[in-house]
Structure 1
């Protein structure tokens, strides 16, 4: 099989490429240059896909003995990931840029280029597993054996078609240290390289500052659930539902309890705050459903709303197309949780599981 190995410059993608080559595939390594500016070169463990990482990926490819190229996807990355990130925050939502990157760059732009060049599959260092579900042998996406490193949540949006052309050689590994030991044994210089973290295009890790620089100031009011003005803010894009720190309030709540962001309203420039008990909700509504298999109302599922959050039991109440024509219910996925969860924010990704198998991905809407 002709395989394009996406090499980020980290240990996981290097070992994945090495395993693909060792398995007898015709492997070509490619590094995605996503940054428009060399200033985004990082040191240590912050970020990914930078100039520094390109050099690390090249050395790994040379060691493995596979051809290596750098593809400039910076325009796609800016237009499909960074611009989306900014517009979502400007609209009062809380996006996950890693989900968008996997969907639109690694398994859309990259996969399409690979297909046009005659590659059969794209190989990455993600921690997830691919299996077959149903009598038709359609591809299914599963959690990795290494649950703390599992990335099925951010991969779920790729859907069954892209999954059918993906290879995840690390999905069966239960220990990250074993992957590092293998890299060392293979002579890959990235064996001790720290994991990347935070948002890769926010080089200094200051997400709020990044939003302020790009979206500008838009002062407004901080109010309680009754509309009483408690303070001011420089822009609603600096807040997300469930946030407690950085509210800048001088007046404590009457009972002394901490306040949390309950809602973000860019149209009126208001940030609504209140007690933690008002954060909880049991019904999740979501749009843009990507399903791996048909889902019917009444099905028991596990619902996850954060990349490293807990999957919570619940039941599907409706799916797009389930309600009468013209009703909102027919356009949204609705899931009723067995117990309320705190801090549900529009823009977050909702992933449904059956055990360790991904059923679907969707984007959370505002409160029902």
Structure 2
């Protein structure tokens, strides 16, 4: 097969490209330029897609003896990921930009361009496994639970999976670094990137304020009493406890958390931890990694990239999904994604629109 190996400049994508070459594929390395003003140097483990990263990727490609190109997708990334991120926070939701990037950039824009140029598939350094099943290729968890990235790949559909390779899913991260060192890759000890790649300093609140400005409002308790003020509701997310700056403490001294963000009224509602517990998720934008579930099905539901999988019942109706969890969990915000599993297999994902409690909805 002719395969585009997406090379970020990190150790994972470097080994993934090497393994695809070892498997006998015709491999071309591609680095995605996603920033219109990439910093010259990376700041520790924060951020990615910098000039330094492109140079690291090129050096690996040279060592492997494969062609290497940089594809400029900065405009697409800004529109489909960054602007979506801002719009979601402005609407009082909490998005996951990594899922949007995988859905719209790495496995839409990148794959579409690769296919248009005559390639057969795309390979990345994600930690997940693809298994041939009775209904086609299936997406499964990686063997290394600490690095499993199947959650952020839950937005892929069956057609995209049929054109994708994840060569690292059967290996742990320490072994990947050992393999990279044995291959003589200079990135063998390079730190992993983390946080949101386009907010390199990790200050999400400051980054959003720079784009949305200030919009002062009230912080109220669950009875409607004003207990503080804020400069922008977009800076708060359900489950947040730190940085609230409340001026009126509870009489019983109980800790308070954000339980709701109301962008229309510019209000942030806070309450005790008990109010955070939900077991009903109404979601939309359903994406299926194979056939869509028929009727009511038992699944495992995960709402964070490395969060706990909760037993649940899911019912799909077109691109809308209702998930009833077997027990309540805290800090689930509209805008987050719920990814559904059947054992290690990823069934699909959806974006949470509303949360609630089963007893309250009865």
TM range (shorter): over 0.9
1:294 Cα deviation after fit: 2.6
1:116 Cα deviation after fit: 0.3
Aligned residue for 2:106, secondary structure, equals helix
Matches within 5 A, 1:340-355: 340-355=328-343
Corresponding residue for residue 266 of structure 2: 269
Task: Work out whether residues 40 and 201 of structure 1, in 8 Å CA contact, stay in contact via their aligned partners in 2.
Answer: no
Corresponding residue for residue 327 of structure 1: none
Corresponding residue for residue 119 of structure 2: 119
1:338 Cα deviation after fit: 0.8
Matches within 5 A, 1:78-117: 78-117=78-117
Matches within 5 A, 1:137-216: 138-173=136-171, 175-216=172-213
CA distance in 2, matches of 1:209, 1:245: 15
Corresponding residue for residue 231 of structure 2: 234
TM-score (norm 2): 0.96
CA distance in 2, matches of 1:345, 1:70: 36
1:41 Cα deviation after fit: 4.0
Task: Work out whether residues 296 and 316 of structure 2, in 8 Å CA contact, stay in contact via their aligned partners in 1.
Answer: no
CA distance in 1, matches of 2:203, 2:271: 25
Task: Work out whether residues 297 and 315 of structure 1, in 8 Å CA contact, stay in contact via their aligned partners in 2.
Answer: no
Corresponding residue for residue 336 of structure 1: 324
Question: CA deviation digits over 1:207-239, x for unaligned, max 9?
Answer: 111011111100000001111111110001100
Corresponding residue for residue 355 of structure 2: 367
CA distance in 2, matches of 1:215, 1:41: 27
CA distance in 2, matches of 1:81, 1:335: 26
Aligned residue for 2:219, secondary structure, equals strand
CA distance in 2, matches of 1:296, 1:259: 40
Query: Higher mean Cα deviation, 287-296 or 158-167?
Result: 287-296
Corresponding residue for residue 360 of structure 2: none
Stretches of structure 1 that go unaligned for 5 or more consecutive residues are: 322-330
Query: Higher mean Cα deviation, 262-271 or 332-341?
Result: 332-341
Corresponding residue for residue 255 of structure 2: 258
CA distance in 1, matches of 2:294, 2:114: 35
Question: CA deviation digits over 1:177-205, x for unaligned, max 9?
Answer: 11111111111100000000000000211
Question: CA deviation digits over 1:54-82, x for unaligned, max 9?
Answer: 00000000011100000111001000000
Corresponding residue for residue 278 of structure 1: 275
Task: Work out whether residues 40 and 203 of structure 1, in 8 Å CA contact, stay in contact via their aligned partners in 2.
Answer: no
Question: CA deviation digits over 1:19-69, x for unaligned, max 9?
Answer: 111111000000000011133742321111111100000000001110000
Per the alignment, do residues 21 and 303 of structure 1 end up closer, same or farther by CA in structure 2, a change over 3 Å counting?
same
CA distance in 1, matches of 2:177, 2:183: 10
CA distance in 2, matches of 1:151, 1:139: 17
Query: Higher mean Cα deviation, 289-298 or 336-345?
Result: 289-298
Matches within 5 A, 1:284-363: 284-291=281-288, 292-316=290-314, 318-321=315-318, 332-363=320-351
For these two proteins, the number of residue pairs brought into alignment is: 355
Corresponding residue for residue 324 of structure 1: none
Stretches of structure 2 that go unaligned for 5 or more consecutive residues are: 357-362
